[in-house]
Structure 1
Amino acid sequence: MRMKFLDWYLKIAVGAALIGGSMELFMIKTGFYDKVTVLESEKRAWEASPEAQAVRDALNPWRKHEAERKSS
């Protein structure tokens, strides 16, 4: 059985592939991936720091309840 709108689906698929490819090319040419890599490494380094742990502890109102439940 032949699909009724096969040519329409193919046009949409080709258009979507061209748009996606042009977006990827733009991100590569502008150095987007390099910037994101640097930002992610800085974020992970900060999340592993003692300052970040102190902020997480201060902002978690349930930390005492969790500690009590784990010790029980």
Structure 2
Amino acid sequence: MKFLKWYVKIAVVSSLIGGSMELFMIKTGFYDKVTELESEKRAWESSPEAQAMREALNPWRNRDPEAKKNS
């Protein structure tokens, strides 16, 4: 209990800083922009172009069937 006042001060200051950061993000539209970017990213990742690119860039795509044939 020796440092209780110090811990309370740290907790109050941290809460004020966190609250001000949240308020800033809400006021500037940060969450709306992040939601929009995430939905665009998910739409791209599920598109046929992204699937073809993912398969083309996977160096292990042909090794698994070869390993099964050799076993």
Provide the residue aligned with 1:56 in structure 2: 54
Return the alpha-carbon distance in structure 1 between the equivalents of residues 17 and 41 of structure 2.
Answer: 30
Q: Which residue does 2:32 correspond to in 1?
A: 34
Q: Find 2:17's aligned residue among 16, 19, 39.
A: 19
Count of aligned positions: 69
The 3-state SS of whatever aligns with 1:4 is coil
Measure the CA separation in 2 of the matches of 1:64 and 1:31: 45
1:47 pairs, out of 32, 45, 48, with: 45
Structure 1 unpaired stretches of 5+: none
The normalised TM-score by structure 1 is 0.87
CA RMSD of aligned residues (A): 1.7
The offset of 1:65, in angstroms, is: 1.8
Runs of 4+ in structure 1 displaced over 6 angstroms? none
- How far did residue 26 of structure 1 move? 0.2
Deviation at 1:64, TM superposition (A): 1.1
TM-score, with length taken from structure 2: 0.89
